[in-house]
Amino acid sequence: MSQPKRHSQVLHKRTYWGEDTASVLVDWLNHRVRPKGDPVEALVRLQGHHSLVLDGDPRQKSVELVNRTTRSWGLSLVPVAGLTPDGWTAEWRHRPTSKAHPLQLLAFVKALHLASDGLLQRVRQCGRTECGRYYYERFPQQEFCSTKCRELQKRSTPEWKKSRAQYMQRHRHGLQERERRGVSAVTRKKKGAKKS
Ligand SMILES: [Zn+2]
């Protein structure tokens, strides 16, 4: 009888609710080459934290933006049939459009799924201005895309710089003190050696 695989033997990458759906969207938003006036980014920026800087009702603006984008891209669903091991099946897929990059279209569709689940506002932009990458917020008040950015931001504050300078001053003083004591110990030893 073969032993069943223990749970710990299987490596699991921890994911959060909505994170899988958001990954395509986040990848698109961080894509180096994106068309100007990208409606996908505009839609993300109309939600939650981003919308605070806007005038008017962000919900109304979101609805208008989605309907306008859908019309201008000529979006429609088509059934695509294919074989399965037991028979055949048909899935409804978005017809490709020349008006949008395939990744952009996919990101737009994922954004709509997230919006339906009330999760689109969790797609945020990193709070460190020099970074600005988009990420999926895993826990409330997560302001940065990574631990690295959180640390870098913390180190740029005047409070941190001041406490760091004080620490370095104490450190240097400690070194000088140890050096002084070390030198005097050597001198004492030498003097002792001469006596004998
Ligand atoms: Zn960042």
In angstroms, what is the span from residue 78 Cα to ligand 1's centroid?
39
pLDDT reading at 194 higher than 60: no
pTM score of the predicted model? 0.71
In angstroms, what is the span from residue 140 Cα to ligand 1's centroid?
16
In angstroms, what is the span from residue 114 Cα to ligand 1's centroid?
22
In angstroms, what is the span from residue 104 Cα to ligand 1's centroid?
22
pLDDT at site 130: 93
Q: Which of 10-14, 24-28, 34-38, 167-171 has the lowest mean pLDDT?
A: 10-14
Q: 3-state secondary structure string, the chain?
A: CCCCCCHHHCCCCCCCCCHHHHHHHHHHHCCCCCCCCCHHHHHHHCCHHHHCCCCCCHHHHHHHHHHHHHHHHCCCEEEEEEECCCCEEEEEEECCCCCCCHHHHHHHHHHHHHHHCCCHHHEEECCCCCCCCEEECCCCCCCCCCHHHHHHHHHCCHHHHHHHHHHHHHHHHHHHHHHHHHHHHHHHHHHHHHHC
In angstroms, what is the span from residue 145 Cα to ligand 1's centroid?
4
In angstroms, what is the span from residue 150 Cα to ligand 1's centroid?
8
Specify whether the CB–CB gap between 133 and 32 falls below 8 A. no
**Terminal Cα distance for the chain, rounded:** 81
Q: Which sequence spans correspond to the domains of the chain?
A: 11-140, 157-196
The tens digit of pLDDT for each residue in 138-180 reads 988 899 999 999 999 988 888 878 887 888 888 888 888 888 8
